[in-house]
Amino acid sequence: MNTIEYELHQQFPSLDPNFKNEYILKPCENDEQELLFISEQLCPYIRFIRRDFGDVYEYNGADPLFENFTIYLESSVEYSINKDQSTCKPALDTHGLVYARLDLSSMTSSNIIDENLLIDKLWDMGKGLTSIAGQYTTSETQQSTNYYTSDGDIYTAEDEALIQRILKQSTLSSMLGLPRYAKNDEIKQNFQRINNQLVNKWHYIRLGINAREKLHAFYDQFVNEQD
């Protein structure tokens, strides 16, 4: 904490001499527990806030291939900032960031690394991380990711996936995520569902307008054929 305070004072000489690290963020005294107060001295300079949380795991078994690995599991919370009130609140959670570090000191001798041992260790590390990531990454966690535009608009990874699917597919049923033999009622219901989901989002997702025009053109053709 002393290092952080020293760096803050070096970067912002106008800070109060008694400014402490714990003053950067603190809970606001209101009913919204997740709302945090940003130091008024720092708020004018802050453009982005992220807090990282995580666990560290070290291998304590007998397999020499896994010695010297340190595994890190991290989650991050990013905050939207209200400069007028000098406050911020959580806007985006990121879960399941997994990475590892390997201590090379045990594999070096006279500044020469045992390359074969290093390759074996890296291979096992890669397999282990892939396994961990596979267990904790699901379509639900991917779809829950939120994106924010510079104007404060919000859309999800699922919204963007819908846009990409519409652009890539060549039939109305496939654009709607339906099989080729889908019934007319299913087509109408899914078309309405996607329209409701993306009602105000088409214009600020990349190529969203193109996707909307394409989908509506195919749907209009489908309706005309029914008449």
- Give me the CATH number covering residue 172: 1.10.287
At residue 157, the pLDDT reads 77
63, part of any domain: yes
Which residue ranges of the chain lie beneath pLDDT 50?
none
Please count the structural domains in the chain. Answer: 2
Q: Is residue 218 part of a domain?
A: yes
Q: Is 109 part of a structural domain of the chain?
A: yes
Claim to verify: residue 98 and residue 163 sit in the same structural domain: no
Structure tokens at 25: 């963020």
| Domain containing residue 130 | 52-76+92-137
In a domain, 41, yes or no: no
Residue pair 129/114 in contact (Cβ under 8 Å)? The answer is no
Residues 129, 174 share a domain: no
Report if residue 40 sits inside a domain.
no
Q: Does residue 165 share a domain with residue 119?
A: no
Please check whether residue 188 lies inside any domain of the structure: yes
Q: Do 158 and 128 reside in the same domain of the chain?
A: no
CB 39 within 8 A of CB 87: no
Whether residues 56 and 131 fall in one domain = yes
Q: Which residues contact 76 (CB under 8 A, 6 or more apart)?
A: 50, 51, 52, 53, 93, 94, 97
pLDDT of residue 54: 80
**With helix as H, strand as E and coil as C, how does the chain read?**
CHHHHHHHHHHCCCCCCCCCHHHCEEECCCCCCCCEEECCCCHHHCCCEEEEEEEEEECCCCCHHHCCEEEEEEEEEEEEEECCCCEEEEEEEEEEEEEEEECCHHHEECCEECHHHHHHHHHHHHHHHHHHHHHHCCHHHHHCCEEECCCCCEEEHHHHHHHHHHHHCCCHHHHCCCCCCCCHHHHHHHHHHHHHHCCCCHHHCCCHHHHHHHHHHHHHHHHHHHC
pLDDT for position 220: 95
Same domain, 68 and 98: yes
Assess whether 158 and 126 both reside in one domain.
Answer: no
Q: Residues 183, 210: one domain? A: yes
pLDDT confidence of residue 101: 81
Please tell me the predicted confidence (pLDDT) of residue 145.
63
Are both 114 and 161 inside the same structural domain?
A: no
Are 113 and 69 in a shared domain? yes
In a domain, 61, yes or no: yes
Residue 116 in any domain: the answer is yes
Let me know if 103 is exposed, middle or buried by CB neighbors in 10 A (0-12, 13-18, 19+): exposed
Q: Are residues 130 and 169 in the same domain?
A: no
